[in-house]
Amino acid sequence: MEGEASRHDSFNADRYERLFSDVNYYGLINLATIKELESSIKDRLYKSIKTHPVLVDEGRMEIEMLVEGIANATQKYEQILQRQNEYYKRKHSPTS
């Protein structure tokens, strides 16, 4: 009976480790995608400002707010991913 419980615990630990690994992997892919989008949007906006000076006068504040919002969203996602990883580590650690 004890051997069976040990096998069951080992199976659960392996399953949770795979789950945590998958969550971490996809979270990092999402973060990389968000950062890539952030960089691309910033580049396009700044190029637009350079090629269309009217944007500097008429839309500068809106553009700056958009860029700041993108940066804030990226930072927030990084924080969520970090908390999620900490949660899975605590919840699924072999000692819990």
If you write DSSP's letter for every residue of 22-62 in order, what string do you get? HHHHHHHHHHHHHHHHHHHHHHHHHHHHHH-HHHHHHSHHH
Handedness of CA 81, 27, 89, 12 (dihedral sign): positive
DSSP conformation class of 52: -
pTM over 0.85: no
Per-residue pLDDT of the chain (96 residues; tens, 9 = 90+): 455 545 545 555 566 566 556 556 666 677 777 778 778 877 877 777 777 766 666 667 777 777 788 788 888 888 888 888 788 778 777 665
> Among candidates 94, 90, 74, which has minimal Cα distance to 13?
94
pLDDT of residue 1: 47
Lookup: tokens for 5: 């419980």
pLDDT of residue 13: 56
Lookup: tokens for 52: 């269309």
Find out whether 31 and 78 touch, Cβ atoms under 8 Å. Answer: yes
